[in-house]
Copies of this chain bind each other. A is one copy, B any other.
Amino acid sequence: MTVGAALDLSHHFSVETKSRKASPLKSCIHLFHDPNIIFLGGGLPMSKYFPWDNLNVQSPLPPFKNGIGEVPSGTDKDTCHVQIRRDETTKAGDTIDVPLSRALQYGHSQGQPEFLSFVKEHTELVHKMQYSDWDVLATTGNTGAFESALRIFCDRGDTILAEQYSFSASIYAAEAQGINVFPVPLDDHGLIPERLATILDNWNPEVKKPKLLYTIPTGQNPTGSSLSYERKAEIYRIAQKHDLIILEDEPYYFLQMDEYQEDPSQRKTTTYSSHSEFLQSLAKSFISMDTEGRVIRMDSFSKVLGPGTRLGWIVASKQIVTAFLRLHEMSIQNPSGFSQSIVAGTLNRWGQDGFLDWMVGLRQEYNEKRDVAIDALHKYVPEDSVFHVNPPIAGMFFTISIDSSKHPEFATKYESKPELVEQAIYNKVVESGVLIVPGAWFKVEGETQPPQPAESKKELDPNRIFFRGTYAAVPLDKLQDGIRKVGIALKEEFQL
């Protein structure tokens, strides 16, 4: 298949990006490795002054026969020994390891070759890219990548679009930068394309149009919803029509599960006869539909390997990747060399298949955790016109949605204010020894100048509040006990 090149989207760049000059120093660091040049050009310490050598770390060995979460024995039978040497033995990129002498040096702001080649191959495997000039760049994870994206595209006073409840660190980062975050309505299946279209078609011509849609398509934070292929295709068409960039935040992509079955006898965790069957089963991403380079995909190891790696990557057109690179050269420079060395050393030993084996194993763990959580919710929290639980098919979060107007003291003690009921429930639940988080913490409250369509939708019922819980952070017994306590607290609060 012949594929085309990405569009030039530089008209969306911020004043900052447009006025950023490339550092000439960065442009000559590569000469440090040129045997024909004596490099007196930059303050690079000689690697013999780096005080570390022989970095060893153990990881489990694919295909992870004992499942994910088992400590390997240390023997070659089930243990992958990652050994990082100090010195380069071959040319950069020819080996599977980033030697410490390079990992700990300046340079490679885009990421170390051994890291980039792995995630590039992974991206091609999973998303089968549909335009020619795409590239990847190492990030410190999606929070950092999102903040960089705002700096790259937005000026103070600009508007971006986001799901009406969204990851609060992202929303607060945008608001602090003076960016208006305009909410797009959600239902149990995620962002509603028709609502997005109506908002954009009716955009107040006196207000600058949004440049960018920020979305968490899989296991949305906080609502736990996931977008279907049909919705994504529709949203992508709307983005084309209105020249929107789609910023796809995908930390939970590989935590896709089987649909929840209420009857335990009907449950079976899907197994895959091959890696390609597993890949086939995954939701189609926005980037996989992108023929024009208008999607920026943010991938992260935080949820699948460990948040403290502070390592992730973006996939985007070369033009956009270059804009990130220029900003990173003057800010983070690049993610930690230790992180890149250890992650690349591990993944390159596991191989692409091994990494997918890890994801399959992880998916199985979260499948079970999700089932235990939803079972407990069904057992301890009444499912009726007051309370509603939407079993997620991806990610780490469940929500308990509550009709606050059904609270016996709604009109009296709480003055018909849903937010007061929400606060009271939060206090009650925390008092009982469990932490779940009020939906209000995630509410996107940017100005909504354009006319809001008058359709009546359950998700916009102003009396509906919700709480976000997670099945990720604690073992199964604690999870059940926590949800039991939540149930007791809710029933007490509603005098049931």
Contact = CB atoms under 8 A, between A and B. Distances in A.
Contacts of A482: 38-40
A53 interface: yes
A59 interface: yes
Most buried by B among A68, A102, A307: A307
Interface stretch (A122-130, A137-145, A291-299): A137-145
A414 interface: no
A275 interface: no
Contact of A68 (B17, B49, B141): B49
Contact of A331 (B147, B311, B358, B434): B147
A40 B470 contact: yes
A106 B307 contact: yes
A411 B52 CA distance: 54
Q: Copy number in this complex?
A: 2
Nearest to A106: B307
A336 B333 contact: no
A46 interface: yes
Most buried by B among A304, A337, A441: A337
A481 B23 contact: no
B221 A434 contact: no
Most buried by B among A49, A156, A474: A49
A441 B471 CA distance: 53
A141 B310 contact: no
Contacts of A39: 435, 473-474, 482
A92 interface: no
Given A330-B176, A333-B141, A40 B303 contact: no
Contacts of A307: 44-45, 104-106, 333, 337
Nearest to A70: B48
A337 B362 CA distance: 22
B330 A310 contact: no
Nearest to A361: B49
A333 B56 contact: no
A470 B54 contact: no
A435 B46 contact: no
Interface stretch (A3-11, A29-37, A228-236): A29-37
A45 B306 contact: yes
B472 A25 contact: no
Interface string A129-166: 00000000000110110010000000010000000000
Given A338-B309, A437-B41, A58 B52 contact: yes
Nearest to A31: B435
Contacts of A68: 49
23 contacts: A19-B175, A23-B172, A25-B437, A25-B441, A28-B437, A37-B433, A37-B434, A40-B479, A43-B395, A45-B473, A48-B71, A50-B306, A52-B346, A54-B56, A54-B58, A55-B57, A56-B57, A104-B307, A106-B307, A173-B330, A173-B331, A336-B336, A338-B338
